[in-house]
Amino acid sequence: MNSYLTSISGYPRIGEKREWKRSIEKYWSGETKQTDFLQEMKELRLGYLRTQKEKGIDMIPVGDFSLYDHILDTAAMFGLVPERFEYDGGSVSLDLYFQMARGSKQAVAMEMTKWFNTNYHYIVPELNKCTPSLVHNRPLDLFLEAKNEAGITGKPVVISPFTFVKLGKGYMPEEFGSTVYALLPHYETVIRELSEAGADWIQIDDPSLQFTLTEEEKEIVTHVYEALSKAKGTSRLLIQTYFDSIDDYTFVTSLPVDGFGLDFVHDRGENASSIEENGFPEEKVLFAGVINGRNIWRADVREKWELLKSMTTYTSEDRLIIQPSCSLLHVPVTTESETKMPEFLKEGLAFANEKLDELQLLQSALREKELLDYVAPVIPGRDRVHVQKEVKQAELDAGDRSRPFAERQVLQREKFQLPLLPTTTIGSFPQTTEVRKKRQQWRKNELSATDYASFIEQETKKWIDIQEKLDLDVLVHGEFERTDMVEFFGEKLKGFYFTQFAWVQSYGSRCVKPPVIYGDVEFIHEMTVKETVYAQSLTSRPVKGMLTGPVTIFNWSFVREDVPKATVMNQIALALRKEVKALEKQGIYMIQVDEPAIREGLPLKKRNEQEYLNYAVKAFKLSVSTVEPDTQIHTHMCYSDFEKIIDSISAMGADVISIETSRSHGELISAFESYHYDKEIGLGVYDIHSPRVPMKEEIIQNIHRALRVLDPKQFWVNPDCGLKTRKEEETVAALQVMVEAAKEVREQIKVTV
């Protein structure tokens, strides 16, 4: 039967137990020979295809698999290797490929950045002097491999030249078109060869088509698809979009291809409305992304069934394909690995493989309506957990501090008596292998809780002494008791579940395991008070309390879809507020609430940004608003691009904020030329991502650069981010230089002011 076929646009790479990661890292460390490594990768790849086949998926993607990142694969396939790697043509070797991603002794790695609004990161193509040639038809190889070795006629996946160049850098805006056109003939070859090899559908990922396009862009896109459709032979081309709705729906759906893939989950209903208003082009195939490819909850099959049925008004059953909203790269592999998970929760979850089951279920129920009666009418696990606790209006109203910042500042200055340009750090100090080892032992019950706690105290004491010797003005306890800034709090709050294997790829071989927020988030007991109070007892200088903020905890977790985002964030905020108050009660008068991930949650389209920022700012304010006016609230943010949301950052009302600057290349600093920021602020004065110890002159220069746009009375001196990943020696050396630099500038300012 040819109606309601199922399709997948991408499958997770990492394997059920992160076999992929382990294999890659072993190769990097020299433990595995190249041939063995490639064989291991091939087995994984074919295994993934077989799983999809067994689960009855009709259109299985090939070429979505990667040894690092699919954008890097595309650059390598066209020989787009930056000059510094001294590449001299031909197919890019495996080692060169990894060097591009990770750097080599001679050449720094290519830049990495966020993949749209996900937590996946891709390698940014460097397209200056772009002279591409097709050095390896990678999708073709993978197509043939699937066909010959697994008997699967796969659906090759390529990233469109338009999106590829959009995501790249190194060309002037006016060179955009010529850069796309330089690639085009090579894309034509890729498509032609795939067609000759017998590909039926070819998926061209073009997520950048969802934004409002300029006339010039439309012309380029039209030209691209005209050329590709000439090259396609008997194959059919699919333009695949994801993560949001298509703004220029009628333009995109008039392009000369055979099918369009639309996201019906993250589109705020806009894609369905566009179809209702404008219809769907006859003879074309609609790939309907109805299963959420970015979350882990089981789908409401009945609701999806209705949506798909409604689409048959606009397209016929044999031109309607059911698929997830995007590649399954963004979800873990299978709930089957979760042997410790309570049944009620497991029943409500669908990771990648369970989503394949859902597609099949939907297909059967669409073909035979009676089957729908056998589908559980509610979503079992989720429904059995009682959410949501009312967040009371009275609590929500208390979003503002009792006194305005100007008054708080006076009180706080009096209380803390800090010098001009106070020095501090972001929170964590190096986590040595010993710290990690002790934690492991404690978790395995090989070390008693008291012994572990006293080890943490020792470590804290050591670093309080170091900080005093360094003469830092505001100290931290060092975060030795934490592995991960979300996990630490999630494990202590109600409503969170930590899985065993629900990893997703973040970048390269690095994976993250976001917790699942399945129920009401509530404060149960104090989480940080003991360690912080202990650290404070060792010194007369202020020690900052250190919490992870509600927006970051939210953005780095899997969150339910049936509860409004703002509700979950506010629940987290109200739980954290109790911790903030507990710290204050115990004499901790500087409290830092970190929000490194605030920018990550920003929607893709400008028109939707404000709504998110409003509730993010609100949640942050809720968590800190009830402290006394002379208690100083700090916050910290990292990753670049803050200049765009600077007024929301200001609206959070933190008395002191520290922001990373080294990766924003001065853009952030220049934002303060036009934006008057009135609170206290520390723009990171050195980059902690490198082991290099900065020179005093560099730091002095960085401070002066900031002081051109900020008042010395509002400026703090601190590193860019936490120091957890650095070595002890380099950390001490760098901080020493930083403190000396701050002292020198204080002297200089005294003379000149």
Binding residues: 18-21, 114, 119, 426-428, 479, 510-511, 556, 594, 600, 636, 638, 660, 721
Bridge pairing between strands 494-497 and 516-522:
antiparallel
Nearer to Zn ion, 61 or 430 (CB): 430
Q: Which residues are annotated as a binding site for L-homocysteine?
A: 426-428, 479, 594
Distance of CA 11 to the CA centre of its chain: 18
Q: Which of 638, 683, 685, 700 is the binder for ligand GLN (CB under 6 A)? A: 638
Residue 418 binds to Zn ion (criterion: CB under 5 A) = no
List Cβ neighbours of 636 (8 Å cut-off, separation of 6 or more): 426, 427, 592, 594, 595, 596, 657, 658, 659, 721
Nearer to ligand GLN, 76 or 472 (CB): 472
The interface with Zn ion within residues 717-746 (CB under 5 A) comprises: 721
**Runs of H (alpha helix) within 625-695:** 646-651, 667-674
Q: Which residue has the tokens 């110890």?
A: 693
Nearer to ligand GLN, 319 or 724 (CB): 724
The interface with ligand GLN within residues 522-581 (CB under 6 A) comprises: 546
* Two tokens, residue 217: 């862009």
485 binds, among Zn ion, ligand GLN, none (CB under 5 to 8 A by kind): ligand GLN
* Two tokens, residue 58: 């009709």
3-state SS, one letter per residue, for 690-745: CCCCCCHHHHHHHHHHHHCCCCHHHECECCCCCCCCCCHHHHHHHHHHHHHHHHHH
DSSP for residue 351: -
The interface with Zn ion within residues 582-641 (CB under 5 A) comprises: 596, 638
CB of 597 to ligand GLN, least distance (A): 8
663 binds, among Zn ion, ligand GLN, none (CB under 5 to 8 A by kind): none
Nearer to ligand GLN, 533 or 546 (CB): 546
- Site stretch for ligand GLN (CB under 6 A), options 334-342, 365-373, 528-536, 718-726: 718-726
Q: Which of 62, 81, 352, 485 is the binder for ligand GLN (CB under 6 A)? A: 485
139 binds, among Zn ion, ligand GLN, none (CB under 5 to 8 A by kind): none
704 in catalytic set: no
Q: Residue 435 and residue 324: Cα distance in Å, rounded? A: 42
> Per-residue x/- mask for ligand GLN, residues 413 to 452, rule CB under 6 A?
-------------xxx------------------------
Q: Which residues are annotated as a binding site for 5-methyltetrahydropteroyltri-L-glutamate?
A: 18-21, 114, 119, 510-511, 556, 600
Nearest Cα to Cα of residue 85 among 72, 98, 71: 98
The residue type of 545 is G
DSSP for residue 58: S
DSSP for residue 725: T
DSSP for residue 9: S
Residue 121 binds to ligand GLN (criterion: CB under 6 A) = no
Q: Residue 268 and residue 245: Cα distance in Å, rounded? A: 7
Residue 654 binds to ligand GLN (criterion: CB under 6 A) = no
List Cβ neighbours of 423 (8 Å cut-off, separation of 6 or more): 471, 472, 473, 474, 716, 717, 718, 738, 739, 742
Phi, psi of 169 (to 5 degrees): -145, 175
Peptide bond into 388 cis (omega under 30): yes
Q: Ramachandran region of residue 63, left (φ > 0), alpha (ψ -120 to 50) or beta?
A: left
Nearer to ligand GLN, 142 or 732 (CB): 732
546 binds, among ligand GLN, Zn ion, none (CB under 5 to 8 A by kind): ligand GLN
Phi, psi of 634 (to 5 degrees): -110, 160
Q: Residue 707 and residue 703: Cα distance in Å, rounded? A: 6
Nearer to ligand GLN, 438 or 724 (CB): 724
> Per-residue x/- mask for ligand GLN, residues 592 to 631, rule CB under 6 A?
--x-x-----------------------------------
Spatial contact of 484 and 594, defined as CB atoms under 8 Å apart? no
The residues binding Zn ion (CB under 5 A) are: 596, 638, 721
The residues binding ligand GLN (CB under 6 A) are: 426-428, 479, 485, 546, 594, 596, 636, 638, 721-722, 724
Catalytic residues: 689
